[in-house]
Amino acid sequence: MNLVKWARLKSPWLLHFNTGACNACDIEVLAALTPRYDLERFGALLKASPRHADVLVVTGPVTRQVKDRLLRVYNQMPDPKFVVAVGTCCISGGVFNGCYNVYPGLDSIIPVDAYIFGCPPKPEAIINGVVALLKKLEAS
């Protein structure tokens, strides 16, 4: 494994974006960074700017108003970039499927690399998902 790939795998920098969620998934993502579950031991840091991040962590059903901003943030991230969809709202619209302002899932807007189930997923499930993504990258 070359040096660049090793560096990418050992410190994935996350950018968290909420596309109209109910906040339950967001507080579980934040709880995954607190001392009890500690996502930071995998080298993951929560960053502020899209230009610094490798992984986009998205929660929430995508609403009409936020779609353009989501595309803009996604385009601002440098390649190679990965997208993780957290929660059932991201995967299929969740309990809001059928509402007039909600798209049917995140993969109808941008390509997704990992899906994490749950409403909301427990912090252990989020860690499981991020580790699975890293393993998939290592294998590829």
Partner 1 sequence: MEENEVSEALKNKFGKKILEIEIPKKGEKVAEDMLIPEIMEIKVSKRRVFVTVPIEIYKEVIRYLVEELGFNHVQTMTGLDTGKVIEIMPHLGRGITITVRTRIGKDRPVLSTITDLVPGASLHEREINDLLGVVFEGHPNLTRIIVPEGWPKGVYPLRKDYIPEQPKPIREVS
Partner 2 sequence: MQEEELQKMEKKSAYELFFDIPVGPQHPALKEPAFFKFRVEGERVVGVDVDVSYNHRGIERALEDRNYIQNIYLIERICGICNVAHTLCYAQAVEQLHGKEIPPRANYIRLMIEELARIHSHTLWLGVAAHEIGFDTLFMYVWRDREVVMDLIEMLTGNRVTTAINTIGGVRRDVSDEAKDKVNKGMNILEERLKYYRKVALNDPTVNARCSGVGILKPRDAIKLCAVGPTLRASGVKNDVRRDDPYTLHDEVPFNVITFDTMDVFARVLVRIDETLESVNMIRYCLDHMPNGDVRIKLPLSPPVGEAVSRVEAPRGELIHYARSNGTKNPERYKVRTPTFGNIPSVSEMLTSKSDYEVNIADIPIVLASIDPCFSCTARMEFRDVSKGKTWIWSLKELKAHCKK
Residues forming the site for partner 2 (CB under 8 A)? 16-28, 30-31, 34-36, 46-50, 61, 63, 65-66, 68-69, 73, 94-96, 98-102, 119-120, 122
Q: Which residues pair with 59 in a beta bridge?
A: 18, 86
- The entry of partner 2, partner 1, none that residue 107 binds, CB within 5 to 8 Å by partner kind: partner 1
- Rounded distance, CA 121 to CA 127, Å? 10
Q: Quick check: 102 binds partner 1 (CB under 8 A)? A: yes
Phi, psi torsion values for 111, nearest 5 degrees: -70, 140
Number of residues that this document lists for the chain: 140
Contact pattern from residue 111 through residue 140 relative to partner 1, giving x for each residue in contact according to CB under 8 A and a dash for the rest: x-----------------------------
- The entry of partner 1, partner 2, none that residue 104 binds, CB within 5 to 8 Å by partner kind: partner 1
Q: What radius of gyration do the chain's Cα atoms show?
A: 14
Q: Is 35 exposed, middle or buried (0-12, 13-18, 19+ CB in 10 A)?
A: exposed
In this chain, which of 31, 43, 47, 107 binds partner 1, going by CB under 8 A?
107
Asked if the peptide bond before residue 120 counts as cis, ω within 30 degrees of 0, the response is: yes
Please choose, out of 44-52, 57-65, 80-88, 121-129, the segment that lies near partner 1 by the rule CB under 8 A: 57-65
